[in-house]
Chains A and B, each alone.
Chain A
Amino acid sequence: MDTVLFIIFATIAVVSAVSLVLQKHPIASALSLIGVMGSLAVLYLLLGAEFIAMAQMFVYAGAVMVLFIFVIMLLNAGSEKSSGKSWFAQIAGLPLLIVFAVVMGFVIKRGFTDLRVVEFGSWVGGTAEHIGQLLFTRYLLPFEVVSILILIAILGAVVLARKEID
């Protein structure tokens, strides 16, 4: 059951990711990205990380992508125009891609020899309690640093967006 679900949603994730690159229209690309995030959330859920799965849906597929779509709709961005492919990409694109994939496969196979096959449902520790515990004990400093960073980013955005009053 878990394996079947994994295959279905992994396929959806990969197809959506490819579609994200290939689609001409920004809205279609953004929706493909939502597809990627939604199916990744299901994969997290299969691994037992229920909190992360819901946060993925809530924050990425929800809040962040709504802003993307909102901006695309507001600017009324049209389809991309194909601006003539470069000769380098036409000739060397596919061979380079294959070489890259082979090198990556080789590095992963050689560099990480102790890789094991994932067992679905064997890991517990993805509940909100576990993550809360870790965030406020072991990872307290990174957590606080990130929150200050986000605060600075918000202030920066407000300062940049504010109209000059004088």
Chain B
Amino acid sequence: MNFYLVSLIKIVIVFAVFMTTLAYLQWIERKVLGHIQSRTGPLRVGPHGLLQPLADVFKLLTKEDLLPPYVNRFFYLLAPFIAVSLALISIAIIPFGPEVNIAGTHTNLEISNLNVGILFILAISSVSVYGIALAGWSSNNKYALLGGLRSSAQMISYELPLTLAIAAPLLLANHLNFRAISEGQAGYYLGFIPRWNIFQMPFPQIIGFIVFMIAGFAETNRVPFDLPEAENELVAGFHTEYSSMKFACFFMSEYANMVTIACVATVLFLGGWHPLFPAPYSNWVPTIVFLLAAFTFLFQSLQPARRVDRYTMPLFAVGALVLAIIFAIPILQPVLVPIFWFCAKAGFILFAYIWVRGTLPRFRYDQLMHFAWTFLFPLALLNLLVTALLVAIF
């Protein structure tokens, strides 16, 4: 019974955090993009637009749910369901932290610990193309069909380099289990270089990491590989005919896939929850970061850019201060600090996603295919061969 109760609690926590992340990721994206383009981003709803995700949800819920008469009704309704459920499933096997002891209960900081974890992720990601392909086909619309076709071709092509890039760190870790892969990356070379797979001897997986990230961008249909929904040529691509919550499902699945790719990259290449510095120093990093944030907020409130800043900035400062204190409590540190490091790494990758969207233009379709098959695929294969050779020798 205890097992079911603990699992239920973990599922509720992970689901709540995941959903909040999805909602606020969009806010962060709009803010970051805004600042990259010298705008302010959302600002009207709530302080600094913080309630914008909530407003967006209400807007999407109350929009008219249009069902065009010419669609293939069954598949048209099935497609967003497939897309969103497959996108939300993968988070279940991501380990956020080590085995911890909370109030006498030993538990792993993840929902479930699969032996074939990485294969599960690959299986889900290879099936999740159906959502987009079916949406494109069942809409009976030429733009949607082209978007769906492009997306299928792109995902088939980029799955190869993605899988090959994943295979190389697996050789170093000797495991398919995410928890075992994370635990294999503990420790430091010379006392300060972390043994993450990206720095791991005998062959650091830097190339593998870059290939994985590029292929991950393509798998999630993000800029510069967002040809399935290229708005200047395909209106909105595969989701042209979708409105209201059905559109929101596709939107949510895109962001959920981004989070999954970021988490998988963190576990496979960036050492999971293991900190950048040895433990005596790294345990204080979250406290210092949040203290710095609190001081920045206070400094901003002394010279407010807008009138509301005088009231909101001190509130944010108090919030950051409370977080800093919570992270400094020694009893909570073994649970919270690994989660902080995991979230920091995944958050950095998500930031890189947005950063790239703000910087790079979209590829042309032939460039996209050419890039995958003649550059990325051989590079990933070479990386895998060299890694295998060096692992066999040493």
Q: Which residues of A contact B (CB under 8 A)?
A: 27-28, 31, 34, 38, 41, 50-51, 53-55, 57-58, 61-63, 66-67, 69-70, 73-74, 76, 127-128
Extra A-B contacts (8), CB below 8 Å, given A62-B129, A73-B133 = A27-B137, A58-B122, A58-B123, A61-B123, A62-B123, A66-B133, A73-B149, A128-B116
Contacts known (A51-B119, A127-B115); A62 close to B126, Cβ less than 8 A = yes
B211 to chain A, nearest CB (A): 19
Q: Which of A51, A55, A58, A128 has the most CB of B within 10 A?
A: A58
Q: How far is the CA of A54 from the CA of B115 in the complex (A)?
A: 11
- Is A61 a contact partner of B127 (Cβ separation < 8 A)? yes
Q: How far is the CA of A63 from the CA of B156 in the complex (A)?
A: 7
- Is B116 a contact partner of A54 (Cβ separation < 8 A)? yes
Within 8 Å CB of A128, what residues of B? 115-116, 119, 176
20 A-B pairs with C-beta separation under 8 A? A31-B130, A53-B116, A54-B123, A55-B119, A57-B123, A61-B126, A61-B127, A62-B126, A62-B129, A63-B159, A66-B129, A66-B133, A70-B133, A70-B153, A73-B136, A73-B149, A74-B149, A127-B115, A127-B116, A128-B119
Q: How far is the CA of A61 from the CA of B129 in the complex (A)?
A: 11
Q: Which of B158-212 contact A (CB under 8 A)?
A: 159, 176
Q: Which of B116, B119, B120, B152 contacts A70 (CB 8 A)?
A: B152
B256 located at the interface, meaning its Cβ lies under 8 Å from any Cβ of chain A in the complex = no
Q: How far is the CA of A127 from the CA of B137 in the complex (A)?
A: 38
Q: Which residues of B contact A (CB under 8 A)?
A: 75, 114-116, 119-120, 122-124, 126-127, 129-130, 133-134, 136-137, 145, 148-149, 152-153, 155-156, 159, 176
Q: How far is the CA of A28 from the CA of B133 in the complex (A)?
A: 13
The majority secondary structure among interface residues of chain B is helix
Q: Which of B123, B130, B145, B148 has the most CB of A within 10 A?
A: B123
A59 to chain B, nearest CB (A): 8
Q: How far is the CA of A51 from the CA of B177 in the complex (A)?
A: 12
Within 8 Å CB of A63, what residues of B? 126, 156, 159
Contacts known (A73-B133, A74-B149); A62 close to B127, Cβ less than 8 A = yes
- Is A58 a contact partner of B119 (Cβ separation < 8 A)? yes
A9 to chain B, nearest CB (A): 16
- Is B116 a contact partner of A66 (Cβ separation < 8 A)? no
Q: How far is the CA of A17 from the CA of B223 in the complex (A)?
A: 39
Within 8 Å CB of B127, what residues of A? 34, 38, 57, 61-62
B56 to chain A, nearest CB (A): 32
The majority secondary structure among interface residues of chain A is helix
Contacts known (A50-B115, A58-B123); A34 close to B148, Cβ less than 8 A = no
B308 to chain A, nearest CB (A): 50
Within 8 Å CB of B122, what residues of A? 54, 58, 62
Query: Chain A: which residue is nearest B159 at the CB level?
Result: A63
Q: How far is the CA of A69 from the CA of B129 in the complex (A)?
A: 10
B301 to chain A, nearest CB (A): 52
Q: Which 8 A-B pairs have the closest CB atoms?
A: A62-B126, A57-B123, A54-B119, A58-B123, A70-B152, A50-B116, A54-B116, A73-B137
A156 to chain B, nearest CB (A): 19
Query: Chain A: which residue is nearest B153 at the CB level?
Result: A70
Query: Chain A: which residue is nearest B75 at the CB level?
Result: A27
Within 8 Å CB of B124, what residues of A? 57
Contacts known (A58-B126, A128-B176); A70 close to B149, Cβ less than 8 A = yes
Query: Chain A: which residue is nearest B136 at the CB level?
Result: A73
Within 8 Å CB of A69, what residues of B? 130, 133-134, 137, 152
Query: Chain B: which residue is nearest A67 at the CB level?
Result: B156
- Is B119 a contact partner of A73 (Cβ separation < 8 A)? no
Contacts known (A61-B127, A67-B156, A70-B156); A54 close to B120, Cβ less than 8 A = yes
A34 to chain B, nearest CB (A): 7
Q: How far is the CA of A70 from the CA of B152 in the complex (A)?
A: 7
Q: Which of A34, A55, A76 contacts B130 (CB 8 A)?
A: A34
Q: Which of A27, A28, A66, A73 contacts B126 (CB 8 A)?
A: A66
A79 to chain B, nearest CB (A): 11
